[in-house]
Chain A
Amino acid sequence: MAEYSFNYGRAENVDNCEIDIVTITDIENNSYNILRLKRNLGVSVTTNDTVRIAVGSLTQGYPVQPLAFTNGIVGVNYYGKSALLRKVSSTGTCSLRTSCTTTGYTYFVVMNGNSDIINSGSYMGTDADAIVIPIVAYNEFDNKYLYLIRAILYVENTYTSYLISNTYTEHSTCVTDVITGYASGSYAGKPSQAAFDAINTFMANAVPYGGQDPYDNAGDSDTGGGGGSWDDGSDPVNIPSLPSVGATNTGFITLFVPTQSQLKQVAEYLWGGLFDISTYLRLFEDPMDCILGLSVVPVSVPTSGSATITVGNIELSGISLPVASQQYIEVDCGSLTVSPYFGSYLDYEPYTKMSLFVPYSGVHTVNADDLMGRTVNLVYHIDILTGSLVAFLKCGDSVLYEFNGACGSNIPVNSMNYASTIENAIRIAVNIGTTVATAGASAPLTGADAGKRTAYQQFGRGVSLAGSTADGALSLKPNIDRAGSLGGTTGLLGNQIPYFIITRPRLCKPKNQNKIKGYPAFINYSISDLVGKGYTEFDTILLKNLYLTDDEKNELESILEGGVYL
């Protein structure tokens, strides 16, 4: 016995009703659900309501006949002492057939779709203890209706559901035959198993309803999309101006830009006998406490005059140093145009990959899609006090990348500075070592030591995968970090000019490929536009006004889609 499900899609349109679903087990021990409505809730249907409820009929006590209606509801009380019947006629009127006075439930089954329920024109039996409920469910997938003609056998406050027929068909035949047969007395009274079997046989060709769609709550699909603005406008993001406030503006710090000889003078003064250490020590423990830092920066620092250097309120008389006029300095590395090489999609990701070496920051992966065909400009903003920097990569009208780094190479002027410098140098060296190890792992290793074998095994699978598919080879190739963080002293030792590293594919193009196989177009053309233009392959062709036979048109369509010379 196939299992059937109902479609409850319209149940929400039954106003003012409490609806729940009861599961009734039939004699085959299959479970079926029936909608149960509390009958005394004043079911109402408005004239414009789209509620469609199937019919129930009663065979106990007060007989009720099935009703004919187009849109409406019918309920029956299974005690049979009274029934609530409302119907909505095809003209939209709503009438109350009788009132509900007793307790109990009224059974309804929701039916979707505009379907007539046949009026049998006869009363049911008067002393049967069963309710027969033609159940109608609508399968929205194929516009067919499922009918389950059920008998609810009520004995001593328990009921059992008997499936006496089912079909899955256009509604008219099923309902007409079954209900007419019932009304004619064939199944009047307590339905016998034989009667059920007879109707089941009658419905032998029933096609099972596939079950309730678990995605019903998702709603039906609908048209949509479109309405986009197609506004290609883009707000430019410019390189910001340098900060207007900094540490030097506070008066707590002075930045000098000494020459090498001037620095020697300072050192000789501080460590020679000229420095009044006794005066200084009243204020500080160490003269170097007042030297906040000495560094080498890779920029020309503008100055505004010179001044005598003062260390802890003690003037180093006779030593005048140029004073930096600004803490933040902009360095423009100029512009260049990233020109397409192929003039095709191969110039873009994932086929072409680009990295940018940014001095004092390292090598950064950039997206070729952002840069291709554009003029790019790299500008640094450098804080000469801390050595921190930000490099702005402007692509076209907007800054698309910002890289940070450090360019100040600190020169130790006391033991604490020295320790800090060494520590930083070690940390940077470890970072670089890790990066180099990662990059090197992609190359085949020939060494026999265990460490190298492990590295080879670890990365060998990636290399194998990359080689397995020719077209996807580039996209599968590993991205290698070409340099780690190159800041401070390590940056000073590295390259001082930024550059792009461009990895582009090498095109494998047979001679005359365009003449033999064409190049991608996906453009709508009239055939007259293509005469004399060589090889043409259609994706779709609309053939019209041809006297060819149908088979010939199909053949011509196939030929045009296979490629022709017009």
Chain B
Amino acid sequence: MSFNIRLILNNSADNVADKDFTSVDLLSGTMRNETSITDPVIRIEFEGTIPKFNYFYIPQFFRYYFLKDIRLLRNNIFEMTGHCDVLTTAFKLDALADCNGIVKKQESLNNLLLNDGTFRVYQNPQVVTQLFPNGFNTFNYVLAVAGARATTPI
């Protein structure tokens, strides 16, 4: 089985779906031993200095892989162990975009009126005052006298 492995330098965090890749090499060969597709263990012969990579892609498996381990077995023979990056694989090669769900937290599409304990507050609160526009500024005497008012208003 003709087989290609693209060695990649992943510059993104593991939980980034659309990862920033730098392709460093493309290996071609034949699979001689059985291996898992989700956690492949692959021996490669590589002459010279092995490139800096932490990620690889096997198009025949339709999967991207994190490089979990790489061991030198003997001269120029390396054994690399991968684990499928399901997030990027699903994002780049599959129908992840059609999936939906209830989003618990989001960077920009959120509702700050929900109280889920996301925010912390300091112990010393801020105390402010806000005045009404008007108050009492006129004073009058009021004299209450028994009986009706005098008969002759002036």
Contacts and interface: CB of A to CB of B under 8 A. Distances in A.
B134 interface: yes
A545 B98 contact: yes
Given A310-B145, A385-B144, A548 B121 contact: no
B2 interface: no
Interface string B14-31: 011110000000000000
B111 interface: yes
Interface stretch (A90-98, A335-343, A394-402): A335-343
A436 interface: no
Interface string B134-154: 111111111111111110111
A311 interface: yes
B86 A508 contact: no
A143 interface: no
B108 interface: yes
B120 A508 contact: yes
Interface in A484-536: 492, 495-509, 513-515, 517-531, 533-536
A301 B132 contact: no
B139 A342 contact: no
B150 A309 contact: yes
Given A471-B117, A499-B129, A522 B102 contact: yes
B125 interface: yes
A333 B110 CA distance: 38
Contact of B96 (A298, A307, A315, A527): A527
Interface residues of A, number: 130
Nearest to B124: A506
Interface in A209-238: none
A204 to B, nearest CB: 48
A535 B137 CA distance: 56
B138 A522 contact: no
A464 to B, nearest CB: 12
B100 A542 contact: yes
A506 B125 contact: yes
Contact of B112 (A470, A519, A531): A519
Contacts of A553: 86
Given A305-B153, A559-B15, A506 B126 contact: yes
A524 B101 contact: yes
A561 B144 CA distance: 76
A181 B86 CA distance: 63
Interface string A257-275: 1111001001000000000
B33 interface: no
Contacts of B143: 255-258, 263, 266, 291, 293-294, 309, 321
Interface in B86-108: 86-87, 89-91, 94-108
Given A292-B144, A321-B143, A520 B114 contact: yes
A252 interface: yes
B1 interface: no
Interface stretch (A184-192, A344-352, A425-433): A344-352
Nearest to B145: A254
B137 A345 contact: no
Given A290-B145, A297-B139, A555 B86 contact: yes
B84 interface: yes
Interface in A125-147: none
A519 B105 contact: yes
A162 to B, nearest CB: 60
Contacts of B112: 342-345, 519-520
A333 B84 contact: no
A168 B122 CA distance: 60
Contacts of B98: 526-528, 544-545
Given A310-B147, A519-B105, A263 B126 contact: no
Nearest to B37: A549
A409 B4 CA distance: 96
A509 B115 CA distance: 15
A93 to B, nearest CB: 56
A254 B105 contact: no
Contacts of B132: 333-336, 378, 497-499
A76 interface: no
A562 interface: yes
B138 A299 contact: yes
A206 B148 CA distance: 99
Contacts of A507: 119-122
Nearest to A534: B107
Contacts of B147: 251-254, 290, 310, 312-313
A551 interface: yes
B62 interface: yes
A277 interface: no
B118 interface: yes
Contacts of A483: none
B50 interface: no
A292 B106 contact: no
Contact of B13 (A305, A500, A501, A565): A565
Given A533-B107, A565-B17, A359 B150 contact: no
Interface of B: 12-13, 15-18, 38, 62, 84, 86-87, 89-91, 94-150, 152-154
14 contacts: A258-B141, A334-B133, A411-B141, A470-B120, A477-B125, A504-B127, A508-B121, A518-B105, A519-B106, A521-B103, A533-B106, A539-B102, A539-B103, A565-B15
Interface of A: 251-260, 263, 266, 289-301, 305-313, 315, 320-321, 323-324, 331-336, 338, 342-346, 351, 359-360, 378, 384-385, 407-408, 411, 467, 470-471, 473-474, 477, 492, 495-509, 513-515, 517-531, 533-549, 551-553, 555-556, 559-566
